[in-house]
Amino acid sequence: MAATGMVDFNKLDRTIHEKGRLAIMTLLATRPRWAFPELKSELQMSDGNLVTHLRALHQIGYVAVTKEVLDRPHTTYSMTERGRAAFKAYIETLEEIVRLGRL
């Protein structure tokens, strides 16, 4: 822990740090768009849980929501530039912790 004491933990984004939201952000980083059912099946989350996390991420500006009505309503989610930057910073902080731990 002595080595990791040099890491500024304030850099770890609390919104992303939560397990469920971290999983959502990870998936959104892999593809430009994710439909709600795809996210649900990949993460094995309940509708309510997933919606709550997505709403939290949307409110903070990390996730953009697109709602289309074709033959039926279709909601897709994508990562915003701000979200991508925050996710990148989060991973860099984790890498920094790992790096300092190995010193």
Partner 1 sequence: MPFLSVGNDHPARLAKPETRSQKPNFARPTYIKYASRLKFRRGEPLAKPAADRMIGSIFRLPASRFPPCPQPYFVSQSMATMDSRSAEDHLRVIRELMERATVYRTISAPAALCCGFLALIVSSGALIPGPLQPILRHYFVRVWIIVFLVSAIANTLFLLRSTRERKETFPSRRLRTALVAIAPAFLVAGALTILLTRNRGSEIFVAVCWIGLYGMALLSTVTFAPRSIAWLGWAFVLTSCLCLGLLTQDYLFSFTASRHVTLQGLGYLTMAGTFGLYHIIYGFAVMFYGRHGNG
Query: E strands along the chain, which residues?
Result: 34-35, 63-69, 73-79
Cβ closest to partner 1, residue 76 vs residue 80:
76
3-state secondary structure of 2: coil
Instruction: Using the minimum distance from each CB to partner 1, give the nearer residue, 51 or 97.
Output: 97
Contact 15, 60 (CB under 8 A): yes
Length of the chain: 103
Which residues contact partner 1 by CB under 8 A? 1, 3-4, 7-10, 12, 14, 17, 22-23, 26-27, 29-33, 42, 76, 91, 94-95, 97-98, 100-102
Query: Tokens at residue 19, please?
Result: 């397990």
Q: Which is nearer to partner 1, 1 or 69 (CB)?
A: 1
Closest separation in Å from C-beta 43 to partner 1: 9
Report in angstroms how near the CB of residue 50 gets to partner 1 at its nearest: 15
Task: Indicate the residue type of 94.
Answer: L
Closest to partner 1 by CB, 23 or 64 = 23
Tokens of 80: 């915003």
